[in-house]
Structure 1
Amino acid sequence: MPADPIPLRAALAEEIGSASPTLEPGWRDAVAAVPRELFLGSIVFRMTGAGWEPVHRAQVGEDEWLRMVYSDRTWVTQVDEIDAADATGPVSGSPTSSATLPSLVLRTAQVAGLRPGQKVLEVGTGTGYSTAVLCQRLGADNIVSIEYDPGLAASAATHLSNAGYTPTLAVGDGLQGCKEYADYDAIVATCSVRSIPPSWFWQLNDGGSITTTISGWMLASGMIRLELDDEGTAHGRFTDDTITYMLARPHERPPAPVFLRQDGTTRSTHLDPGLVELWAGRFVAQLAAPSAELMNSGSGIILRDTATGSQAWTEGDGRTWTVHQHGPLRLWDQVEEALQAWQDAGAPNLTEFGMTATPYEQTIWIGSPAGPSWRLPI
């Protein structure tokens, strides 16, 4: 007899609730109610040694498929804009859409402090699963969801209809918000952004909130809920989560040429470059060099600035380190100064970081707005 999805759904909800004691029961109940199997189609990607390999429902069998569906994990459904259903074999590249792990969907909703009766804009419909969870908890009449990819939007609309949910759906660039249905009590992004898009501020009700993950081209991120004050400035502090969403497509890194090391100038560095491998350390490095991407060289790190071609790379023996810098930007100088400020502040985790933001200027700081701070690219 095929596996029954209902007890699997209930078990997943119980697993998430047990791991998150502060989770409101209503969100756990939403996971127990939403049929996730209706949002995954019949093919997903799984990472293997050959790349992103399509996994077919018919090949693994119904029991295994449902166990996959009701595991608390992300299932990638698109890689570099290639849908899993269109893949004839393993593909390489970066995921561009997925069915996010349910615990992250609920964690984001919990951080957002969403309540029944609030009008919510979800940026990034994806498969529609997170949209369904919001509908189940808050009511479909309160949910507007916008998706950048027309194909994904059409699939999500079908999934939601089949599951019995009727939110307001739109197709377009979610970084522009969704003006035709504004204003919103809360905006929740299921994608990461390099900075808060100005349109999101302008489409919020007084006292509204924005919940998103701030990320960048070093792929370190911090989840934050920002609340709008009477003067139109948003304030908030980051959570301690070390999980993230994919970057919004317009905020993604531009294609880069093959990396070739350039010696440039050389000096010793008194800070261990390995600090950049720590989550908060990498977040700080990203703030200091927002247009740089990070690579690992095996014996050190490599920074490459996508705007100017500047680069920095380090080498060392575990006790001393040397940095080579080339180009108009001294990338390691920028990163080293920021890391030193972070260490002088006690090397705190992201809960000690906060953000002050307007449509025109956005700053992340440590401790308080008077502490060490960095401006985001807008």
Structure 2
Amino acid sequence: MTQIAGTIMPADIRGQIMRDPTSSSTLPSLVVRMLEDLQVEPESKVLEIGTGTGYSTAVLCARLGEEYVTSIEYDEEVASRARTALGRRGMYPTLVSSDGLLGYAEGAPYDRVIATCGVCTVPAAWIEQTRPGGLILTTIGGWLGSSELARLTVHNDGTATGLLLSGQVSFMLARPHTPPALGLLPDLSEGKEREAIIGTDALNDWTSRFVMQLAAPHAQHLTMERDGHTEHVLVDVESGSWAALYEKDGRWIVRQDGPNAPWDAVEEQLGRWHAAGTPALEEFTVSVTPQGQTITW
């Protein structure tokens, strides 16, 4: 971890760290793996989203030459440290301190776009700034904590499609894509109860949790003790919907309320996935159009 809570460096903290990390150094082997997945070729113009420490930026500069590399960092302090580190290596790519979700139109079009932060949906700006036939490599995830790398090819009509890759790769979500604070929880004693078809074991599996996110993209998960048992709660802050599951006499019971029924949607989506033979994430296809993003298998 190289930054916590948006302003704090780990070296500034004594004792247990209670705040969320906001920047980190990527495992070097993952940096290399991602650049191989990006299929970088000589003289490829690359836009990197998330400069971080500057390590992956340096590898790109060594591979391509600094004139082909543009890197964006959201946080000015993090960007400044990366700029200094790169300068010590004699590397001076185009470094921008800005919102990476907006890309960098001044340097477009790019042959490759690579993100070292996670997103829930691929930003339109990345597609618009990538030449037809170019590739976008990014981690797509959600608020239940499951994610995977996706490699998308940009088409002439302004759309992009591609498969998820393997590895259960996870990055911190881009700050505008992070979930809102839960705040005051709704009254979880209300709502309609029924026996659940699927229990909370699905939350413990990376792929099934990814499928759940497709059904309830704005749900956050928490556990709480209530009436002598543990309840697993999905809360959708935006709609005010929620679902609480608990085990009773060997059965799972779900209680839900709000305009949506999160666990109904989860069970329906997981049911379709099981009916298809529980395909692995590498069999999922991502499609991004002006109308939005879809992920299918």
- With normalisation by structure 1, the TM-score equals 0.74
**What one-letter code is carried by the residue in structure 2 that aligns with 1:94?**
D
Following superposition, the deviation at residue 141 of structure 1 comes to: 1.5
Equivalent of 1:330 in 257, 261, 267 = 261
Spell out the pairing of 1:42-191 with structure 2 (5 A cutoff): 76-81=1-6, 82-191=8-117
Query: Does structure 2 conserve the Cα–Cα contact (< 8 Å) formed by 1:196 and 1:359?
Result: no
Deviations 1:113-159 (A, max 9, x none): 11221000000001111111111222221110000001111111001
1:289 is aligned to 2:289: no
1:315 is aligned to 2:242: no
Deviations 1:51-106 (A, max 9, x none): xxxxxxxxxxxxxxxxxxxxxxxxx0111112224335543121100111112212
1:301 is aligned to 2:228: no
Q: Name the CA distance, whole Å, in 2 between partners of 1:209 and 1:360.
A: 20
Q: Which runs of 5+ in 1 are unaligned?
A: 1-75, 367-378
Equivalent of 1:353 in 257, 261, 284 = 284
Following superposition, the deviation at residue 295 of structure 1 comes to: 2.3
1:267 is aligned to 2:194: yes
Deviations 1:305-350 (A, max 9, x none): 0212221111125842110112221110111110101111111210
How big is the alpha-carbon RMSD for the aligned residues of Structure 1 and Structure 2?
A: 1.7
Name the residue aligned to 1:340.
271
Q: Name the CA distance, whole Å, in 1 between partners of 2:189 and 2:295.
A: 32
Query: Does structure 2 conserve the Cα–Cα contact (< 8 Å) formed by 1:79 and 1:95?
Result: yes
**Measured at CA, do residues 236 and 144 of structure 1 come closer, stay the same or move farther in structure 2, by a change above 3 Å?**
same
Q: Name the CA distance, whole Å, in 1 between partners of 2:276 and 2:266.
A: 15
Following superposition, the deviation at residue 209 of structure 1 comes to: 1.1
SS in 1 for 2:83: helix
- With normalisation by structure 2, the TM-score equals 0.93
Name the residue aligned to 1:29.
none
Identity %: 44
Query: Does structure 2 conserve the Cα–Cα contact (< 8 Å) formed by 1:300 and 1:314?
Result: yes
Query: Does structure 2 conserve the Cα–Cα contact (< 8 Å) formed by 1:79 and 1:92?
Result: no
Question: Comparing both chains, which one has the higher relative contact order based on Cα–Cα distances under 8 Å and sequence gaps of 6 or more?
Answer: 2
Name whichever structure is richer in strand by fraction.
2
Q: Which runs of 5+ in 2 are unaligned?
A: none
Query: Does structure 2 conserve the Cα–Cα contact (< 8 Å) formed by 1:270 and 1:320?
Result: no
State the number of aligned residues. 291
